[in-house]
Amino acid sequence: MNTKKIVGAKIFVFFPNFFRTYAKISYMKKIADELIKNFEKYRLDRVFRLNEVQGAKKEVSEMFAQLNDITLNNEYDPSHKVYIHAQHILSLFAETVGGFKELKAFTQLYERFENEFMPSYPPMSPVTTSFNMYYFLFDLRLGSFRETISTIFYTMTKNWKLGEMLKPALMQCDRSSLRFYEHCGFRDDMIELEDIFTNEKKLVVNPSNYKGEAGEIWLVRLLPNLDAVYDYKIAVTTPYIIRLYGAEDWLQFFARQDIYQDENNGNERYHNFMKFNLDKRFWFNYVLDAYVDHTDGCIYLTGLPDIKGSKPHEL
Q: Is the model's pLDDT at 297 over the cut of 70?
A: yes
Q: What is the pLDDT of residue 36?
A: 73
Region 205-222: mean pLDDT is 97
Is the pTM value of this prediction over 0.95? no
pLDDT of residue 95: 87
φ, ψ (nearest 5 deg) of residue 247: -60, -40
Question: From CA 314, how far away is CA 285, in angstroms rounded?
Answer: 9
pLDDT value at residue 42: 56
Mean pLDDT rounded to a whole number for the chain = 83
List, for residues 81-104, the tens digit of each pLDDT value.
Answer: 889 888 888 988 888 888 888 888
For residue 40, what pLDDT is reported? 62
Q: List the domain boundaries for the chain.
A: 9-173, 177-302
Beta strands in the chain (DSSP E): 178-187, 190-195, 201-205, 217-224, 233-235, 240-243, 291-294, 299-302
Neighbours of 264 (CB within 10 A): 8
pLDDT in tens, 33-59: 787 777 666 554 444 444 443 444 445
- 177-302 falls under which CATH superfamily? Nucleic acid-binding proteins (2.40.50.140)
For strands 291-294 and 190-195, give the pairing.
unpaired
- Structure letter (DSSP) for residue 300: E
Q: Is the Cα dihedral 209, 215, 216, 220 positive or negative?
A: positive
User: What's residue 165's pLDDT?
Assistant: 76
Contact 304, 245 (CB under 8 A): yes
Residue length, the chain? 315
Q: What is the pLDDT, as a whole number, of residue 52?
A: 44
